[in-house]
Amino acid sequence: EDKVVQSPLSLVVHEGDTVTLNCSYEVTNFRSLLWYKQEKKAPTFLFMLTSSGIEKKSGRLSSILDKKELFSILNITATQTGDSAIYLCAVESQGGSEKLVFGKGTKLTVNP
């Protein structure tokens, strides 16, 4: 059965800090790994990763995938209070419904 483990489960930092969120996975027929941000409502899409070693960036956020070691990291530099949210990692397998299997998420709190 596909499985996603995120760490840490909770993190408290000060504005301006840099954080690294971790996601390890086990999946048969890997297709992609996705990162979402959730702020008390629906998850909003951040990144989709399919190939190892290729960094995806969006402003202060970046992410990379290691398919050999089966993990991904999400980096946030110069954190702001608006980055406070739950960050969800999910994997998608090929074939079938291509449903997402999520981890429990990392709750990030950025204090001013």
Partner 1 sequence: DTGVSQDPRHKITKRGQNVTFRCDPISEHNRLYWYRQTLGQGPEFLTYFQNEAQLEKSRLLSDRFSAERPKGSFSTLEIQRTEQGDSAMYLCASRYYREETQYFGPGTRLLVL
Give the residue with the Cβ less far from partner 1, 18 or 29: 29
Q: Which is nearer to partner 1, 14 or 31 (CB)?
A: 31
Q: Which residues pair with 45 in a beta bridge?
A: 36
Task: Between 57 and 104, name the residue whose CB sits nearer to partner 1.
Answer: 104
Q: Is 70 left (phi over 0), alpha (psi -120 to 50) or beta?
A: left
Alpha carbons 84 and 70: distance in angstroms, whole number: 26
User: For residues 60 and 104, which CB has a smaller minimum distance to partner 1 in the complex?
Assistant: 104
Taking the complex as a whole, the smallest distance from the CB of residue 44 to partner 1 amounts, in Å, to 7
CB of 1: closest distance to partner 1 in angstroms? 11
Q: Is 10 helix (H, G, I), strand (E, B) or coil?
A: strand
CB 101 within 8 A of CB 26: no
Question: What's the closest the beta carbon of residue 105 comes to partner 1, in angstroms?
Answer: 5
Binding site for partner 1 (CB under 8 A): 4, 32, 34, 36, 41-45, 48, 88, 90, 96-97, 99-105
Maximal C-alpha separation, the chain: 45
